[in-house]
Chains A and B, each alone.
Chain A
Amino acid sequence: MSALLSFRHLRKSFGERKLLDLGPFAIGEGEAYVITGDNGSGKTTLLRILAGLEPGEIAGFEFRGVPLTHGRLPENVRHDIVYVHQHPYLFHTSVVHNIGYGLAARRVDGAERRRMEEEAIAWAGVGDLRSVPPHQLSGGEKQRVALARAKVLKPRLFLLDEPTANLDGEARGQAIALIRQLVQDQSSLLIACHDRELIELPGMRRFHLENGKLVAA
């Protein structure tokens, strides 16, 4: 297994409170990881630091074997990592625009962009939501659009923060089905969650975050 992302040490403190104090950790290419832990244990913070959205003290940080100085991630790395919020934010435009946003940022235009958008829309089963204003979507629908918006970019690493939190019934099942497909497609995933069904998906490597340390579960 070649490491997609790795670090030797990761620390994060808020004032006097040390939230994260992690030792060596590596995410393998094509592997799926789930991190459990109590609320406030630092799961979200860890994902946000790896996504470059929050500062953290990282030693020996590497992505695809290339050393990184944390702070602002280089553009090629930012394009390889997509972070999805616990409550995904959809731009107040349209479902299709949301799904194509990252493609536009990568200057994928015209027919190719439309083809990729349609593929992602079909994958997430959100075709019937095209004409619905994003702010009117339910939590589950927003989550599916956000997953499609991430998948269309074919990132090397998905960072998913509590993707089934506050979802129940069919919406939760649909989100889990999409994530199961990502795992089966051998996408690299790091998921923070409490959802038992998601944690027990086949092929998932499990870690538990407690007292700032990450331990295999």
Chain B
Amino acid sequence: MDILESTRQAFALLFSGDAELWTIIWISMRVSLIALALATPPAVVLGYVLAHKRFPGRRILIVLIQGLLSFPTVVVGLILYILLTRQGPLGSWQLLFTQEAMIMGQAVIAFPVLAAFALAAVQGADPRAHETAVSLGASPLRAALTTLLEVRFAVVAGVFNGFGRVISEVGCAMMVGGNIAGVTRNMPTAIALETSKGDFAQGIALGVVLMLFALGISIALGLLQGRGGLK
């Protein structure tokens, strides 16, 4: 393997607008962003409720969310596969090996990350923020939204982290997506496939894009932390 030659080819692929490569990138972005858009609202609500309310089973839920943070994505894929397979309880939905199945899997994977960040953000919020809102006559919903706005940088940091987790996961996407070219082949599954075929150029090109995403997320998080630090 000539690494230099493969790298040169990789950049040529990237900058020549290679349709197959950019379709893979588009599928990755679409699936991950929709998954995040679906998972974020309920996860943030759950994080807020867990941080703010006291009710039976709260501790168990917190432990469960923390445990799910390190849950192997391939196991999420396995469970979803069993549910979605033709003989499974959700088989009639006919979603196996579709982008929708990948979205479901990635939403499940992102959910605990988003909820854990929201929980930590609200727990770390100044209690006077909520009290001030209530004392000024805010309804419970307005007071909750105000509190979340006060910790928006930490909540958004959770969204970035969730994105980082799902955009790069391979296990679940491979199992429920099936790595079908032009349909469910995303960056991580394509890298795995091309590498196994010995086509390092496309693998490297996609790896570069993934690393750029990771770098972009790190920069965005750094900027957010900087802004949050201005408080």
- A residues contacting B by CB (< 8 A) are 51-53, 75, 78-79, 81-85, 87-89, 91-93, 101-102, 105-106, 133, 135, 149-150, 153
Check: B214 CB closer than 8 A to any chain A CB: no
Q: Check A89 against B142 for contact (C-beta < 8 Å).
A: no
The CA-CA distance from A105 to B149 in the complex, in Å, is 15
How far apart are A16's CB and chain B's nearest CB, in angstroms? 22
Among B135, B139, B146, the residue within 8 A (CB) of A83 is: B135
Beta-carbon contacts of B127-171 to A below 8 Å, as 1s and 0s?
011011111111100100010011000000000000000000000
Among B132, B137, B138, B139, the residue within 8 A (CB) of A89 is: B132
In the A-B complex, the 3 residue pairs with the closest CB atoms = A89-B128, A102-B136, A105-B137
Q: Check A153 against B150 for contact (C-beta < 8 Å).
A: no
Check: B53 CB closer than 8 A to any chain A CB: no
How far apart are A209's CB and chain B's nearest CB, in angstroms? 21
Q: List, in ascending order, chain B residues with CB within 8 A of A88's CB.
A: 128, 132
Q: List, in ascending order, chain B residues with CB within 8 A of A83's CB.
A: 131, 135
Q: List, in ascending order, chain A residues with CB within 8 A of B131's CB.
A: 53, 83, 85, 89
Q: Check A101 against B129 for contact (C-beta < 8 Å).
A: no
The CA-CA distance from A92 to B149 in the complex, in Å, is 9
Interface residues of B in 106-131 (CB under 8 A from A): 126, 128-129, 131
Check: B54 CB closer than 8 A to any chain A CB: no
Task: Knowing A92-B150, A135-B230, A135-B231, say if A105 contacts B128 (CB, 8 Å).
Answer: no
The CA-CA distance from A87 to B132 in the complex, in Å, is 11
How far apart are A39's CB and chain B's nearest CB, in angstroms? 19
Q: Check A85 against B132 for contact (C-beta < 8 Å).
A: yes
Q: Check A91 against B139 for contact (C-beta < 8 Å).
A: no
The CA-CA distance from A92 to B231 in the complex, in Å, is 7
Q: List, in ascending order, chain B residues with CB within 8 A of A102's CB.
A: 136-138
Q: Check B137 against A78 for contact (C-beta < 8 Å).
A: yes
Q: Check A82 against B136 for contact (C-beta < 8 Å).
A: yes
11 A-B Cβ contacts within 8 A? Answer: A81-B135, A82-B135, A85-B131, A87-B128, A88-B132, A89-B128, A89-B129, A89-B131, A105-B138, A105-B139, A135-B230
